[in-house]
Structure 1
Amino acid sequence: MQRREFLGMLAAAAAAGLPVHNLRAAARPESGEFYHVPAKGNVHFLHMTDTHAQLRPVYFREPAVNIGLGAARNRPPHLVGQHFLNEFGVEPGSIDAHAMTCLDFAEAANRYGRVGGFSHLATLVRQMRSERPDAMLLDGGDLWQGSATALWTKGQDMVDASLELGVEAMTGHWEFTLGDERVLELVENDLDGKIDFLAQNVRDSGFGDPIFKAYTMREMNGVPVAVLGQAFPYTPIANPSYMMPNWNFGIRESDLQDNINAARKEGAQVVILLSHNGMDVDLKLASNVTGLDAILGGHTHDAVPRPQVVKNDGGETIVANGGSNGKFLGVLDFDVADGKIRDWQYRLLPVFADMLPADPDMDALITKIREPYADKLAEELAVTEDVLYRRGNFNGTFDQLIVDALMEMKDADVALSPGFRWGTSLLPGDAITMERLMDQTAITYPTTTRNDMTGERLKLVLEDVADNLFNVDPYFQQGGDMVRVGGLTYAIAPTAEMGKRIRDMRIDGEPVQADRTYRVAGWASVNDIPEGEPIWDVVGDWLRDKKTITEREPNRPRIIGLEGNKGIV
């Protein structure tokens, strides 16, 4: 169905008073066929990651810019739009094309509906488990952060929901921003052995003792298996270190190898790494360590339907990455006999809420969790006339909204906003509720600031983030995407040397002067605990005043030297 035909059907349906969801149903494949994944073998893993505390279905737009450099250039996960469809043989305009690319996002979102939601995810998990006895459900981290209710309950809502869902092991990243005491309280008291919190690479900074279990062992249909955990290695750099002052992180390759060897010595015939490294790091790690059968990864939010198979000195390792926001469920099956893997299969299943009935028990739990906050979540701040989204290497439209609000409310020349990957999307005509604003801002260090900064300092900030994002060695990529910028335009040469990537910086069309001081608004400082209003109050007041948000052009830099890069639409 072409765009014009579909929009014509929507208009005709509206004129006739017919419900639009009937047209959505007509445009979708049959759910039984779409979610029919016959099991293979006798060892099974279900994988979700980077849910960012989204309990209800949402819209989520995939990136238009996901640049890969060096060995990562023009290979998964750094493929977007039509380049992605070509690589994976996905039909343009299909439901899979909508799930995994940004192409025709608003039209396709209207056609196929919202994604994710724990009650719909629960139905899919139950269906997959019905054919896979003993299938193990793994969560790759960023589970306890990203929504208003997760912030206000200090992660309790997501712990309760994940227990109901049947998660059996997890690792972490944003979880640690609840603070070390709260994390340990939840792990020791609430998870209580029902969910193993695994992180072989988190150690006590004094004696080097492990804080969490490195791996868990279990028998699955007669086959001993091990799951190891790898938390985000750079948590104290990307997030405030004062929230976990006595813990050290890192990739810890040699420790990981030791733990793989220990699990094999205990008899594990299948060994999985549940990782929050990011896919580029996982690909490098898979080439350096031996004995891993698969890495089920997260952090970079990449939805990759076909795993990459990496050769190493011990054989091969499957590397998969499972998207974000509860939008996907990865299904990995192994056929194991005589202690060896004979075959495997993998499917990355989009979770379309309209195609999966809500699990009644999970739905009731979510309703109970949200009930005390329902009125606050539902407050309508403004209405958007544009698609609002965040995901991508540079500013999205929701990022642009935030920096515009900061500049106006703080009377600043420039605004800087963190390059977070989490945050849901809105369609034209949608209300920007307090819940949707909190989807972009719900962190434990939300204070807004306004500081004086020289032009030289501004350039150093941008250069530092650019090196973090575009370093050709994945082990030096230590955080999110490029800082979002308002009021300042610039060019960027991602392949240039460190300190020489940022060029042609301008404010109001005039070149930025190194020794001139500018007023710079921001939020989410990782270095201190400033005094000030939280970001949701500042942006919320701005939205209430505006009432209608017109189309916004994201302030993206001019990119130099990346002709032919398939990470750019």
Structure 2
Amino acid sequence: MADTCTLHLLHTNDLHSHFEKMPQIATCLKTRREQWESQQEHVLTVDIGDHMDRMDVRSEASFGKTNVSVLNRCGYQYATIGNNEGITLPKSKLDSMYEQAGFTVIVGNLLDRATMAPPAWAVPYAIHTFGELRIALLGMTIPFSSYQNMGWEIREPLPVLREQVAALRSSVDIVILLSHLGYPTDCRLAQEVEGLDVILGGHTHHTLPHGERVGNTLIAQTGRFGEHVGHIRLVWDRAAKQIADVSAELFETGQYEPDQRLLAFLQKEHERAHASLIRPIARLERDLRVNWTEETPFGSFLAASIRKWTGAEVGIANGGLLLSDLQRGSLTFAQLLKSVPHPINACAVTLTGSQLAAVLEQAIQPQIVHRELRGCGFRGKIEGWMAVDGLRIRYEDSEEPHIVAIEVNGQPLAREREYRVGTVDMFMYNRLFPDLLQGREIEYFLPEMLREVIASTITDTALVQNAFLPRWEKVPSPGSGHAIERSKGDER
């Protein structure tokens, strides 16, 4: 028997349903596995979560089951979940997503709230053996608070991980963490948890060409959207019972020819998904057009839909959430998916009049309207103009726009009074509007996404018609020293 054995880890993360890359990934995984196994070396293939993203029709129509079929066909052995699997699917759909999985799902910090046990479709850890070599595989997903509203109990990863490593370290040779926690958290875990050999990361879309060493731990991550497949080569010294060498690299997916059988499967899945999503849900009498830098009826309708859905007095939402027009005539769910592909939910928060005014004042500044957004479920490009409902606002249109008067449902805004405001949960995560975060009684409306909210409200003819009434009114800028017009009870 040789003094050493070699283990290869092939890993992907954050594909976000970029199915166009998956046939090439399939070829990469297959050819590399065959190469190394022919040399009597060991191979594990794992995915680190956010493989699924409901912005693609195949994932939307199948609630992620098409992604599971792809993972099966590519020969994955283990996976953890990301937030796109965990909190964009209703609990019943996540419970059924992995029914046909040919791989093991590992997630150690998620429990079913009804039983306080791990989900039926996952294990908290796994032990994989190659002869005498024993490998512990752990999995952690980012602990967003939204899990609590969807029937799950989510736990902070650090204490769970410490407990698992302490229990397993003495009985295994290698400990590998599948981490959908993000690069900064991975670095912290490497520093604070003794006994982690490798962290295969995701969530923050970092591209680490050769991995990074933090203490005794190698951290690796492949970027996003299937642009790379990660490879860890680990040499185990049998006599010394320790890792003799470990290194990381990335394979460019574009260098591989697509797997033709997977390509054909995905084409059929696309046709089937599209057919299921072109069902008519409403008929529009007028176009609802998109314009990210000014008020539009479509934006106003989004704000009105959120207001109605949450039962709030006021609705606000950024126009950058709307990616394509809705044309007059028959409207299908597929068109809504194209226009509003985000895994974003409605929420409600109680704000004082002063806080609401501050949010609106900040929202119309050019640097905010044109600000590029990333993360927090946003699938667009820029923040866009703030759409509102239940409000009439007069503002000076200048280099630094300034609000001069606000009415709430026909009454002057009272700065000391509290208002219930319906908006989007993204604002609670990206911290763009600090005054919004100072509000009370934040309530998340799950699991319906914005497109599902619109699908429910678009049949309200009056709501659609009212969206064509302007909410924002430009007034001439009177020049410097102009006093702010204050409504009755509008005191700072």
- The verdict on a shared fold, with TM-score over 0.5 as the criterion, is yes
Partner of 1:351: 253
After TM superposition, the structure 1 = structure 2 runs for residues 446-485 of structure 1, keeping only pairs within 5 Å, are 454=353, 456-457=355-356, 459=358, 485=383
Partner of 2:490: none
Partner of 1:43: 7
1:152 and 2:54 aligned: no
Q: Deviations over 1:220-274 (max 9, x none)?
A: 375221211002222xx2x46432x2x21132322212212333233x2111100
- How far residue 461 of structure 1 moved from its aligned partner, in angstroms, is 10
Relative to structure 1, the CA distance from residue 127 to residue 180 in structure 2 (aligned partners, 3 Å threshold; closer, same or farther) is same
Q: Give secondary structure in 2 for the equivalent of 1:416.
A: strand
Q: Give the Cα–Cα distance (whole angstroms) in 2 for the partners of residues 482 and 374 of structure 1.
A: 20
Partners of 2:211 and 2:247 within 8 A in 1:
no
- How far residue 487 of structure 1 moved from its aligned partner, in angstroms, is 2.6
1:166 and 2:166 aligned: no
Point out where structure 1 has 5 or more consecutive residues left out of the alignment. 1-39, 57-116, 379-397, 425-432, 464-477, 490-505, 541-569
Partner of 1:486: 384
Partner of 1:257: 162
Relative to structure 1, the CA distance from residue 140 to residue 259 in structure 2 (aligned partners, 3 Å threshold; closer, same or farther) is same
Partners of 2:319 and 2:386 within 8 A in 1:
no
- How far residue 201 of structure 1 moved from its aligned partner, in angstroms, is 0.8
Q: TM-score, normalised by structure 1?
A: 0.54
Q: Give the Cα–Cα distance (whole angstroms) in 1 for the partners of residues 294 and 72 of structure 2.
A: 34
Relative to structure 1, the CA distance from residue 342 to residue 402 in structure 2 (aligned partners, 3 Å threshold; closer, same or farther) is farther
Partner of 1:182: 93
Relative to structure 1, the CA distance from residue 225 to residue 458 in structure 2 (aligned partners, 3 Å threshold; closer, same or farther) is farther
Q: Which moved more, 1:131-140 or 1:333-342?
A: 131-140
Aligned residues: 370
1:364 and 2:328 aligned: no
Q: Give the Cα–Cα distance (whole angstroms) in 1 for the partners of residues 295 and 181 of structure 2.
A: 29
Q: Deviations over 1:178-207 (max 9, x none)?
A: 2222222233x312xx21111111124467
Aligned partner (choices 111, 118, 131) of residue 35 of structure 2:
131
Partner of 2:149: 242
Q: Give secondary structure in 1 for the equivalent of 2:161.
A: helix
Partners of 1:217 and 1:224 within 8 A in 2:
yes
Point out where structure 2 has 5 or more consecutive residues left out of the alignment. 279-289, 305-313, 324-331, 363-374, 388-394, 407-412, 427-442, 459-492
Partner of 1:201: 109
Q: Give the Cα–Cα distance (whole angstroms) in 2 for the partners of residues 416 and 51 of structure 1.
A: 28
Aligned partner (choices 110, 119, 140) of residue 230 of structure 1:
140
Partners of 1:46 and 1:136 within 8 A in 2:
yes
- How far residue 304 of structure 1 moved from its aligned partner, in angstroms, is 2.2
Q: Which letter maps to 1:51?
A: L
Partners of 2:139 and 2:178 within 8 A in 1:
yes
Q: Give secondary structure in 1 for the equivalent of 2:206.
A: coil
Relative to structure 1, the CA distance from residue 331 to residue 404 in structure 2 (aligned partners, 3 Å threshold; closer, same or farther) is farther
Partner of 2:469: none
Q: Give the Cα–Cα distance (whole angstroms) in 1 for the partners of residues 178 and 92 of structure 2.
A: 23
Q: Which letter maps to 1:54?
A: H
Q: Give the Cα–Cα distance (whole angstroms) in 2 for the partners of residues 406 and 347 of structure 1.
A: 46
> Hey, which of these two has a bigger chunk of strand by percent?
2
Q: Give secondary structure in 1 for the equivalent of 2:11.
A: strand
Q: Deviations over 1:300-354 (max 9, x none)?
A: 122222322112xxxx1111222122222111110111221111111122322xx
Partner of 2:368: none
Partners of 1:448 and 1:532 within 8 A in 2:
no
Q: Give the Cα–Cα distance (whole angstroms) in 2 for the partners of residues 461 and 205 of structure 1.
A: 38
Q: Give secondary structure in 2 for the equivalent of 1:190.
A: coil
Q: Give the Cα–Cα distance (whole angstroms) in 1 for the partners of residues 258 and 138 of structure 2.
A: 31
Relative to structure 1, the CA distance from residue 151 to residue 510 in structure 2 (aligned partners, 3 Å threshold; closer, same or farther) is same
Q: Give secondary structure in 2 for the equivalent of 1:178.
A: coil
- How far residue 52 of structure 1 moved from its aligned partner, in angstroms, is 1.4
Aligned partner (choices 100, 113, 122) of residue 26 of structure 2:
122
- How far residue 130 of structure 1 moved from its aligned partner, in angstroms, is 2.4
Q: Give secondary structure in 2 for the equivalent of 1:485.
A: coil
Partners of 1:403 and 1:486 within 8 A in 2:
no
Aligned partner (choices 37, 50, 69) of residue 142 of structure 1:
50
Partner of 2:402: 510
1:332 and 2:232 aligned: yes
Partners of 2:425 and 2:444 within 8 A in 1:
no
Q: Give secondary structure in 2 for the equivalent of 1:132.
A: helix
Give the % identical residues: 22
Relative to structure 1, the CA distance from residue 453 to residue 320 in structure 2 (aligned partners, 3 Å threshold; closer, same or farther) is farther
After TM superposition, the structure 1 = structure 2 runs for residues 69-148 of structure 1, keeping only pairs within 5 Å, are 117-133=21-37, 134-146=42-54, 147-148=56-57
Partners of 2:343 and 2:377 within 8 A in 1:
no
Relative to structure 1, the CA distance from residue 533 to residue 130 in structure 2 (aligned partners, 3 Å threshold; closer, same or farther) is closer
After TM superposition, the structure 1 = structure 2 runs for residues 516-555 of structure 1, keeping only pairs within 5 Å, are 523=424, 527-528=444-445, 534=452
Q: Give secondary structure in 2 for the equivalent of 1:242.
A: helix
Q: Give the Cα–Cα distance (whole angstroms) in 1 for the partners of residues 295 and 249 of structure 2.
A: 38
Q: Which letter maps to 2:7?
A: V
Q: Give the Cα–Cα distance (whole angstroms) in 2 for the partners of residues 462 and 142 of structure 1.
A: 35
Partners of 2:8 and 2:232 within 8 A in 1:
yes
Partner of 2:199: 295
Q: Give the Cα–Cα distance (whole angstroms) in 2 for the partners of residues 461 and 240 of structure 1.
A: 30
Partners of 1:41 and 1:335 within 8 A in 2:
yes
Partners of 2:111 and 2:153 within 8 A in 1:
yes
Q: CA RMSD in A?
A: 4.7
Q: Give secondary structure in 2 for the equivalent of 1:261.
A: helix
Relative to structure 1, the CA distance from residue 306 to residue 439 in structure 2 (aligned partners, 3 Å threshold; closer, same or farther) is farther
Partners of 1:446 and 1:534 within 8 A in 2:
no
Q: Deviations over 1:68-123 (max 9, x none)?
A: xxxxxxxxxxxxxxxxxxxxxxxxxxxxxxxxxxxxxxxxxxxxxxxxx2111111
Q: Give the Cα–Cα distance (whole angstroms) in 2 for the partners of residues 399 and 303 of structure 1.
A: 33
- How far residue 534 of structure 1 moved from its aligned partner, in angstroms, is 4.0
Partner of 1:210: 118
Partners of 2:346 and 2:445 within 8 A in 1:
no
Q: Give the Cα–Cα distance (whole angstroms) in 2 for the partners of residues 458 and 219 of structure 1.
A: 61
Q: Give secondary structure in 1 for the equivalent of 2:383.
A: strand
Partner of 1:16: none
Q: Give the Cα–Cα distance (whole angstroms) in 2 for the partners of residues 445 and 481 of structure 1.
A: 7
Partners of 2:175 and 2:195 within 8 A in 1:
yes
Q: Give the Cα–Cα distance (whole angstroms) in 2 for the partners of residues 241 and 418 of structure 1.
A: 29
1:306 and 2:210 aligned: yes
Partner of 1:497: none
Q: Which letter maps to 1:351?
A: T
Q: Give the Cα–Cα distance (whole angstroms) in 2 for the partners of residues 402 and 175 of structure 1.
A: 34
Q: Give the Cα–Cα distance (whole angstroms) in 2 for the partners of residues 162 and 531 of structure 1.
A: 25
Q: Deviations over 1:43-67 (max 9, x none)?
A: 11111111112212xxxxxxxxxxx
Q: TM-score, normalised by structure 2?
A: 0.62
Q: Which letter maps to 1:342?
A: A
